[in-house]
Amino acid sequence: MLGYCDRNPGTQSYPAAVLKPFYPNTGDFIALIGNLKTLRDLFRLRNSFRKSGTKSEFLPVPNKGKMASDTRRSDHAPFWDAGYPAIMVTDTSFLRNPHYHKPSDKIDSLDLDFLTGVCRGLEEGIRRL
């Protein structure tokens, strides 16, 4: 869930209404979601993505993400539970992609230029961690 992008306003939703005023309503960014132990790394990764030309937003979550259960919907959650720093990198899947887990979820529904930017941002960001 790294390559879906929609540059039209109103294409991004959020699991908690409280997030809406602080984040874009256009689904054209990569999201970085980390526990509080990753705060410094979240800043660094976001900056690396932005330098590579890919929009990026980050969300540090307290209490292992248990107050916002959608932030736990990937492989990073067991690391949080065990007390390790971990970051989920995501295009926010079902919160923007109307094809998510449907028959229409095919390669041609992805924005490969956006995905390339995500890969470049990750490469640069990982080098700086």
Q: What is the pLDDT of residues 49-59, one digit of tens each?
A: 999 899 999 99
- pLDDT tops 90 at residue 100: yes
Q: What three-state secondary structure class fits 31?
A: strand
Residue range 7-25, pLDDT digits in tens: 999 999 998 888 899 999 9
In angstroms, what is the C-alpha Rg of the chain?
14
Domain residue spans in the chain?
A: 26-128
Helices (H), 20-59: 39-51
**Assessment of whether the complete model's pTM goes beyond 0.85:** yes
pLDDT, tens digit (0-9, with 9 covering 90-100), for 34-81: 999 999 999 999 999 999 899 999 999 999 998 888 899 999 999 999
Q: What is the DSSP letter of 28?
A: -
Average pLDDT of the residues of the chain? 94
Three-state DSSP class for residue 47? helix
Do residues 126 and 52 make contact, with C-beta atoms less than 8 angstroms apart? no
